[in-house]
Amino acid sequence: MSRIKEFNLPDLGEGLTEGEILAWLVKVGDTIELNQPIVEVETAKAAVEIPAKWAGQVQAIFHPEGSTVEVGTPIIAIDTDPGAGPVEQSTTGAPTTDLPAPSAASLAAVEVAPTEGAVEPGLIGGPAPGGRTAVLVGYGPRTTAAKRRPRKDTTPAAAAPAAPMPAAPVQVGPARVVPAPVQPTSVPTVNGNGRSGGPVLAKPPVRKLAKDLGVDLGMLTGSGPSGSITREDVQRAAAPAAAEPVAVTTSASSAASFGADREQRIPVKGVRKLTAENMSRSAFTAPHVTEFLTVDVTRAMKALDRLRGRREWRDVRVSPLLLVAKAVLLAVRRHPLVNSSWAGDEIVVKEYVNLGIAAATERGLIVPNIKDAGRLTLRELADAMTDLVQTAKAGKTSPADMSGGTLTITNVGVFGVDTGTPILPPGESAILAFGAVREQPWVHKGKVKPRLVTTLGLSFDHRIIDGELGSKFLRDVGDFLADPEAALLAWT
């Protein structure tokens, strides 16, 4: 069995086909142990660390950081028996410890590629693994070196054909030949790229800037790629010629450009790509309806303060979102159809609640969920939410934690937003937006007083949840937040 093992990128989730290598945790030559994390990979669902499948020494890393690799593609080679001595290398650089030796007949039939005029490996006539030449039947290897056709207008000025000059007399001395000075009849024009004739290489925004500043591009020497003229070249040329600073400032301010040099392009991949696909599919598949409810949550905030003061809760993270989650779980017990999904010819009502909590991370929006949250006590729910948020912020949420959600809460209030019209996660029938808690004037017991108020927004699939059911569910959530202690006594 071969001692060199190639580790392929595994399927890290359901239906994933590729992943982006974020960081290598090992390098070539390192000795690694079994199940040691060797690479961090971001898929369309999460960023995860992949452990080593074998112990040994890293022989090769096939893909650098930042590259996107398809599932099943080798990403690293591991020598599982580094103490057995050096590994023989083939002509291509790959370890060949267990390759069978070629027979004499096969070696006689091998045609070695010529050194001069070599063709790129893998092409017809090019070297193949083992020093062979890939030859198609009926065609021989190429024997002449390939030459690239020169680009237009790229001949340097020194190599450009000069205008015919009249013959000039020379003075012959005993030790040297000195050409006599000759006055040419005409001087070739040199453009901004240091070439004779031809167009000037400059982007349209640079040309416009030069026109506004009155700079002749043909008199400049470009400092950009391939001798192209940049904005800095134009501005340097215009600076000495500025007679009045005010006039120059006016011209420069009017020369605003709106081209690619002032744009940023962000590749759509990983979590952001999957989120975009899911939101587009959900928005145009499920008929969304959104309802809003403004609630006085002053009593709920006081209840949280009393909860934080209890001895067994002093080390627990307690936030208003905890009460919202508990309110949703209790309201689902009273209206089970809200926790369901559309399956075409039937509606699947879930007797368990995998409560999703939308989390904003550096890699985009993810929605991990707390499995079977309806069975948890309030303390267990608080601990589960704390772990969920910390794991998401660290970028360590696993694909399993983001699959199977049945109902979701998105806390837009942490950004200072009052409410919103959230889009349903695919396969779910309802999502609740929890807005910011603000002190506002509110009619309380017949008088206008400052109270803590928030706004809830419930989006639901109108194929499953009609207006009556959605309204009752939202009302029950609001009733719990208005007086959680009374609701707990009445509902449980």
Active-site amino acid positions = 462
Cα–chain-centroid distance for residue 391? 19
Q: Which helix (H) or strand (E) holds 208?
A: helix 204-213
HSE of 37, CA atoms in CB hemisphere, 13 A: 10
Give the Cβ contact number of residue 269 at 10 Å. 17
Residue 113: CB atoms within 10 A of its CB come to 19
What is the C-alpha separation between 25 and 65, in angstroms, rounded? 10
Other Cβ atoms less than 10 A from the Cβ of 26: the count is 18
Pairing between β-strand 177-179 and β-strand 170-172 as defined by DSSP bridges: antiparallel
The first and second tokens of residue 162, run together, are: 């000069």
H-only helix segments in 364-424: 378-393
Give Cα separations from 212 to 207, 255, 259, 320 (angstroms): 9, 7, 16, 58
d(CA 465, CA 337): 7
Cα three-residue angle 244-247-250, rounded to 5 degrees:
150
3-state secondary structure of 458: strand
Q: List all residues 6 or more positions away from 344 whose beta carbon is below 8 Å from its beta carbon.
A: none
- Between CA 49 and CA 41 the distance in angstroms is 6
Q: Is 426 exposed, middle or buried (0-12, 13-18, 19+ CB in 10 A)?
A: middle
CA distance 57 to 77: 9
Region of residue 332 (phi > 0: left; psi between -120 and 50: alpha; otherwise: beta): alpha
Q: What are phi and psi of 270, to 5 degrees?
A: 60, -135
Q: For 413-425, give the DSSP string.
A: GGGT-----PPPP
Q: State the Cα–Cα distance between residues 429 and 335, nearest whole angstrom.
A: 12
Encoded tokens for 403: 């699959």
Q: Which of 236, 434, 189 is nearest to 319 (CA)?
A: 434
Cα separation of 448 and 26, whole Å? 65
Whole-number Cα distances in Å, 403 to 10, 283, 354, 422: 18, 19, 9, 19
Residue 331 backbone dihedrals phi, psi, to 5 degrees: -70, -30
